Amino acid sequence: MPMIGLIPYIYLMYQYNSYRAYIIFINGLIYHYNDKSVKLRYYDILCNFTIGYYSFCTTKQLTYEAGYIGFLSFILNNFLFYKFQINETYSYSAHVLFTQWPICYFLFNELNCQLV
């Protein structure tokens, strides 16, 4: 299910040659295909955090709502999944809708993308 959330990054990779989209996409594929690996999980989180930090530091956007939503939903979703053992399907759905896609939208806006 989380791999569905990576689909929009393909557009950014090929249309805008975004190295950040490449990294997010490849790391996402590797981790979500092997989601039981703790090392891959932490590597994916570290890479995404680094990309997010870079984006927040270098962007000229006036609003960061999509990035905040993605970050906060990631934290909340993990808290609910590990602390309260919410259903894995709900957790994956929330991850796609409220973490992966808002962050892709943030990157989309930062790159000043236009839908073709």
The confidence band for 74, taking pLDDT boundaries of 50, 70 and 90, is very high
Give the C-alpha distances (Å, rounded to integers) separating 25 from 30, 47, 87, 91: 9, 11, 25, 19
Give the C-alpha distances (Å, rounded to integers) separating 80 from 75, 90, 105: 9, 10, 24
Instruction: Kindly state the greatest CA–CA separation across the chain.
Output: 43
Residue ranges of alpha helices (H) inside 6-64 are 7-16, 19-33, 38-58
Note the pTM of the prediction, 2 decimals: 0.84
**Contacts (Cβ under 8 Å, ≥6 apart) of 8:** 100, 101, 104, 108
47 vs 90: CA distance, rounded Å: 24
What are the tokens at 3? 């791999």
| Span 8-62, pLDDT tens digits | 999 999 988 999 999 999 999 999 888 889 999 999 999 989 988 888 887 766 5
